[in-house]
Structure 1
Amino acid sequence: MSQIFENCRSKGACDYKFDEEYYEDIIYNNFAKDVQVNTEIYEPVVQNVEDHATKNIHKFQSKVKKDNASLIFDETSLKEAKVLGQVDCKFIAAIMKKRSGAKEAGEYLILFDQHAVSERIRLERNLADYLNEEQWVSVEVENIILKMSNDQILYLHNYKDKFTQLGLQWTINDKEVNVHSIPEAILGKNPREVEKVIKAVRNLIIEEINIMKLQKGCLSFYPKSIMDLVFSEACRYAIKFGDQLSKNDCIELLNALSNCKTPFQCAHGRPVMAVIMDIKVENRDYKINMTKLKKFKRVQ
């Protein structure tokens, strides 16, 4: 006889009736029950890390929420920040105070993303060079010839003054547009490839025409076609993770950041800093127990 059927006939090996219950759910139910029991017996007990390593961080976060997010920093906080130095060639550690006029004074340990800080500084400096009041600075280029539709050429003709604010100068010859000047921001501090420049100019014209159609002739003064290049340039030539900085370099970066119009966001809108913990100064008086000290000398 097969060993399988002998096992099924033995007591405890198979506790179901082979001919009646084989196609029912009892086999699965018994199996599931055994699995559940074994799981309860051998279930591992995992220690909650939050109760230990992150205890103080959670306390700080709870405190911020309780204070209705009153932890606010401003330009003065940056100017008065005490720079500690670089951390892991990635961050700038500093101690900062809350915004002046806050109800409760306090100092906090802050880590600044050195790339984000440098990126913000470069962005605002570049924009200051690329913009002249209410007009983008224009630079002359060799003729860029663009083939445009009749509708697009009509918009260029009718809204020439508005396109001039973007730094564009051109002449029209049949269905071709000969561009003589473009925004300096498209060319960049480190001149880009000719193909990228031509593509950016075409995208700028098409983008502005589409906006004018939707907004009845209104112009977008910060078009995506230009701003994407400005953001990219600031990011590409900013300080990177892994670049070593001296303490003086860190101080100069934070001083420059404090003069920015939007100092707490990088070029892409992400925060440049993170609050690690609040710093509490504890005054502890240490007293020497002379009696114990004398006994200690006698023992020696």
Structure 2
Amino acid sequence: MDRKFIVTLASVAGSKKPHVIVLFDQHAVHERIRLEKLMKDYQIDGCNTHFRSTEITPPLPLSLSAKEVRILSSFEEEFGRLGLYYQLTNETQIYVTKIPTCLKARESREASRGNTVVKSLLEALIREQVEVLLDTRGVGTRVPSVLQNIISSEACRGAVKFGHELSVEESRVLLKYLGQCELPFQCAHGRPALAPIADLAIIDRDTAPVRDSSLLASHVWGD
């Protein structure tokens, strides 16, 4: 509809036939599908425990605080799980030898436009993870927000846009893959991917003229 939404008729638990009109945001749907596929591709064996890494040559020197270097020294395995490998050189400097593959892909895209982001993103990733490790007493986090944002941005960039006309078959395929997602009801940025707009069972049951516009609103959107 309007080259923005996929219109479907859905059923709810206990109903014998579909009767709820649901609009799916076509960009959000494709974005969610891409996000979950990219997340699996960037992780070893598609699990949420170890990010793939890519070697960088020559190694990248980073100047950090003494506290950050101490944490990096104590939690090398935890940082390796995020795809980050490094050599400690002194109390305030490391040489990064491998970085998360998703971050390398982002740097490659930026380099094609004459930009570089690898250093700032690495510093942000290290500082975020250092704070999490300190707050959780070494537990860490599965997917730091820095990596989540990188992958979400890539998912968004390649997703179907508003204004792109989808065929019926393309729409069916998108909804099929959406149904296989772990979080099918939200886009890569956490916004809703769908909205129920009308319950035909309620509307059909209401044959009397609607005198109050607020009553109609309750039928369409719910209380």
Residue type at the aligned position of 2:6: I
The answer (yes or no) to whether the contact 1:106–1:278 under 8 Å persists in 2 is no
Structure index of larger Rg = 1
State the 4+ residue runs in structure 1 displaced beyond 6 angstroms.
none
> TM-score, with normalisation over the residues of structure 2?
0.80
Q: Tell me what 2:209 maps to.
A: none
Q: Deviations over 1:128-169 (max 9, x none)?
A: 111223211111122221111222111111111111111111
Q: Tell me what 2:26 maps to.
A: 114
Q: Tell me what 2:95 maps to.
A: 178
Give SS of 1:218's match.
Answer: coil
Query: What is the Cα deviation at residue 121 of structure 1?
Result: 0.5
Q: Percent identity at matched positions?
A: 34
Q: Deviations over 1:280-300 (max 9, x none)?
A: 598xxxxxxxxxxxxxxxxxx
Aligned mates of 1:190, 1:88 — CA distance in 2: 36
Residue type at the aligned position of 1:185: C
Q: Tell me what 1:139 maps to.
A: 54
Unaligned runs of 5+ in 2: 205-223
Unaligned runs of 5+ in 1: 1-86, 283-300
Give SS of 1:221's match.
Answer: coil
Aligned mates of 2:34, 2:147 — CA distance in 1: 16
Cα distance change, pair 140–237 in 1 and its aligned pair in 2 (3 A): same
> TM-score, with normalisation over the residues of structure 1?
0.60
Query: What is the Cα deviation at residue 229 of structure 1?
Result: 1.1
Q: Residue 215 in 1 paired to residue 136 in 2?
A: yes
Query: What is the Cα deviation at residue 192 of structure 1?
Result: 3.3
Find 1:124's aligned residue among 32, 36, 42: 36
The answer (yes or no) to whether the contact 1:96–1:108 under 8 Å persists in 2 is yes
Cα distance change, pair 155–266 in 1 and its aligned pair in 2 (3 A): same
The answer (yes or no) to whether the contact 2:106–2:150 under 8 Å persists in 1 is no
Aligned mates of 2:132, 2:163 — CA distance in 1: 42
Query: What is the Cα deviation at residue 252 of structure 1?
Result: 1.0
Aligned mates of 2:94, 2:190 — CA distance in 1: 36
Q: Deviations over 1:206-263 (max 9, x none)?
A: 1111112222222112111111111111112211111111111111111111111111
